[in-house]
Amino acid sequence: MHDASESLSAVRAKLAQAACKAGRDAGEIELVAVSKTHPPDSIRTLAEAGQMIFGESRLQEARAKITVLPGRLRWHFIGHLQKNKIRAALPLFELFHGVDSLETARQFHRIAEEDGLRPQVLLEVNVAGESTKHGFSPDAIRTQIDEIVALDRLDIIGLMGMAPFHPEPEHSRPYFRQLRELRDRLEADAGVGLPQLSMGMSGDYPVAIEEGATIVRVGTAIFGERSGKQWSPTSGDD
Ligand SMILES: *Cc1c(COP(=O)(O)O)cnc(C)c1O
């Protein structure tokens, strides 16, 4: 049986080690435990071990878990959110990692305005230019940033990105560095603060921390392998 709280301790230790190596304070790096596909019981175990922030990428699955878990847990939405699901998602999550186009940003803004909300968001950048991934291209975000920051119902606090999958963590470093440099340029060009950098997953979060990540999204290294199927209250795992 996979011991998630033991894995959590190991991830926290590695996170602290990477921060130390980079001369950074581990306290400034937020660990999001990516709980997609995993049942509420596993999440509860981690919450008892002190993990408070969980990441989900499907609204329906997340809602089913949030309903049955303690209200003090904090939830981040880490995937692409379909237009017709934004309204239902807004009150549930404290941070949306995947605002991935001007169109999506406008939809978030409009619904937030209608519902009197001011969601915290990250702009997702497709730094590797992978056709299978969502996100602004680096060029698009540079030309559109003024228009995006004018959407005053959005509290835009930073950028999110992913490196292409590769078994060697060092392979991710140039993509993370590119995201950080893009952030620095956007801050200078648009005169906005984008302090948060959400980058790094199970395979490469220590490298991401060395390159300036302030939020890492770690699933497999904490929970073990995913089944591939979404969790639902009727799937019988909990
Ligand atoms: C699933 C997922 C993760 C976690 O991936 P692991 O490799 O299991 O750590 C992180 N970020 C996003 C956007 C994801 O969809």
List, for residues 167-176, the tens digit of each pLDDT value.
999 999 999 9
For 138-179, what is each residue's pLDDT tens digit?
A: 999 999 999 999 999 999 999 999 999 999 999 999 999 999
**In Å, how far are 55, 60, 215 from 157, measured between CA atoms?**
17, 26, 12
pTM for this predicted structure: 0.96
Tokens representing 113? Answer: 């305005």
Please report the atom of ligand 1 found closest to the CA of residue 221.
9
Ligand 1 pocket, residue 98 CB under 6 Å? no
pLDDT given at position 228: 76
Tokens representing 60? Answer: 């329906």
Report whether pLDDT(229) > 90.
no
With bands split at pLDDT 50, 70 and 90, how would you rate the model's confidence at 30?
A: very high
Q: Which residues of 20-40 are buried (b: 16+ CB within 10 A; e: fewer)?
A: eebebebeebbbbbbbbbbbb
Ligand 1 pocket, residue 163 CB under 6 Å? no
175 burial via Cβ count (<10 Å: 0-12, 13-18, 19+): buried
**Domains of the chain, first to last:** 4-223 (3.20.20.10)
Ligand 1 pocket, residue 218 CB under 6 Å? yes
CA of 111 to the centre of ligand 1 (A): 27
Please report the atom of ligand 1 found closest to the CA of residue 97.
13
Mean per-residue pLDDT, 39-51: 97
**In Å, how far are 111, 129, 188, 225, 232 from 220, measured between CA atoms?**
33, 24, 36, 5, 19
Tokens representing 128? Answer: 């590797």
Amino acid found at 35: S
pLDDT given at position 234: 83
For the chain, what is the mean pLDDT?
96
The residues facing 123 across adjacent strands are 99, 159
CB 183 within 8 A of CB 215: no
pLDDT given at position 227: 81
Ligand 1 pocket, residue 198 CB under 6 Å? no
With bands split at pLDDT 50, 70 and 90, how would you rate the model's confidence at 132?
A: confident
**In Å, how far are 72, 76, 82, 215 from 58, measured between CA atoms?**
20, 11, 10, 20
CA of 169 to the centre of ligand 1 (A): 15
Other Cβ atoms closer than 10 A to 79: 18
Amino acid found at 218: V
CA of 113 to the centre of ligand 1 (A): 30
Percent of the chain at pLDDT exceeding 90: 92
Distance between CA atoms of residues 55 and 65, nearest Å:
11
